Structure 1
Amino acid sequence: MRNEDSSVQATFNSIARRYDLMNRLMTLGSHKRWCREVAVQVTASGGNNFLDLATGTGVIARAVRAQSPGSAITGADFSEAMLDVARGVQDNSRIVWQFADAHELPFGDSAFDGVTHGYLLRNVSDLDRVLNEQFRVLKPGGVVAALESSPPSGILAPFIRLGMRVVIPTLGTIIGRDRDAYQYLVNSTLGFQTPEALRLRFKQAGFTDVQVKPKFMGTNMIWTARKPFL
């Protein structure tokens, strides 16, 4: 594991216990609704075997199960602390929690009907490799659906950036009890790919029908993309 990946891993281990609370606060209660939208998108094409990367506490994985109750779901993360929280939530039926690094997935080719993730891409050290791995493990015709943050744009961007730099670290200090971790999350969002650039990276990995739906004044995006049929 690269040094930068180890640092990210330590960050998420440190905030695992308050991660869901902070997500609710930072999105004004919208996070679970967006996760349900991701689940709806990935299950719309059918299938019965889904992978949720950067599963965290398992919010998206459980949303996928709610949409497709008979499916097998793997929730994977490289933060053991996050996985411990996920395993501690009542009712883990049909979900297998597994340690995995998104840069090198321990799954076979064409293993899953759909792949989901939330806030994964801004935190990886090799974006192209991570997208290539998702492409590899998807079956032909399979869908990736993802919730991702995005640097603000437009006329309000300077004010949104200022608000993020002030509000999120403050909440991280008071609620999350780790200012540095939430300062990192702000920096990783503000320094991340624009939607136009990220769309290109999806296409370079081989995905087609790449779609994006902005949320929360464009600071969050729901992405969908498809692996072509052979």
Structure 2
Amino acid sequence: MRLLIVEDERRLARSLALGLGAEGYVVDVVHDGAEGLRRATEGDHDLVILDIMLPGLNGYRVCAALRAAGYRTPILMLTAKDGEYDEAEGLDTGADDYLTKPFSYVVLRARVRALLRRRGRSVPPVHEIGRLTVDTGARRVRVAGEETALTAKEYAVLEHLVLRAGQVVTKAEILDHVWDFAYSGDPNIVEVYVSALRRKLGADVIRTVRGAGYVLERP
């Protein structure tokens, strides 16, 4: 899952990015409204965490512009304001949820998960593909009924392939969805994680399509 944080308090933005990144989310961070609007419309994010008090365009205007353009990704608004009219304005411009600063990280994490579950209601949270069972709600993986521990990045690669099961997924698509935009290392890192998944899940679970990418095979 890829998240976009639009927050001008850099320490808070970094803290959120580190916390959510440690849980396996890919997190992009920008610090002003205009850049947030651009990154949201150009990117492929599963959720936007949007501060209201931003330089340039404020969060209300960013949210309204996104919704006017048909943007359907969930938006969680953050603000230091705590009046009921402020909350109402945020929701009226198209936000899906609203969190007042200061807030508990545990609460924010729960709100993020709830919004992602709501977005994915049409997609079953438990995917059974041959011997493999992936519960995307609980982020748990089983092989032939036995739970298998994965690192956050291994799980993120697997989840992306599971949601596209039976389709060829290119290395570039995996890089774009699982690593953040600032990653400038060797793109062969994808091969490293696919190899690790094969060792843990079985060599036949992920097939390489030469010159094209990878496919999670359906039996």
Higher Rg: 2
Which is richer in helix? 1
TM-score range, shorter chain: 0.3 to 0.5
Normalized against structure 1, the TM-score is what?
Answer: 0.34
TM-score (norm 2): 0.35
User: Higher relative contact order at CA 8 Å, sep ≥6: structure 1 or structure 2?
Assistant: 1
